[in-house]
Amino acid sequence: MKKLSFYLMVMVLSLGILPSTYAAEKNTVENTKEIPAEVKTMLNRLDEIKKMDKSDLSSSEKKELRTEVKTIKKNLKSSGQGVYLSIGAIIIIVLLLILLL
């Protein structure tokens, strides 16, 4: 009887989690299709720097380019959109996997 009530409780709790994770996945798929203009400009600038002939640049100019690339990459990482799971959700998922397998 205790086992049945435990399984029932786990099922009810897991049903509350599924819609929120589904909505989060749906939003991330929609967001990946739309790239903001700022991100496009940063990516275009990175492409320009990669295509640039750096052999005739001085060491200070190369250093400026490296710092610019680092800041652009840092900004792109910070503006990235991802799916984040809370610790509680991860624990529940692990428990469900252990119980089902």
Compute CA distances 87 → 4, 29, 76, whole Å: 26, 23, 26
Question: What are the pLDDT digits (tens) for 50-96?
Answer: 998 888 999 999 999 999 999 988 888 777 655 566 788 788 888 88
Task: Decide if pLDDT at 17 tops 90.
Answer: no
pLDDT reading at 19 higher than 60: no
- Position 26 scores a pLDDT of 55
Q: Give 34-78 as a DSSP string.
A: ---HHHHHHHHHHHHHHHS--TTS-HHHHHHHHHHHHHHHHHHHH
Domain boundaries, the chain: 2-100
Residue range 10-35: mean pLDDT, rounded: 59
DSSP letter string over 75-97?
Answer: HHHHH-------HHHHHHHHHHH
CA–CA distance, 91 with 85 (Å, rounded to integer): 10
Average pLDDT of the chain?
77
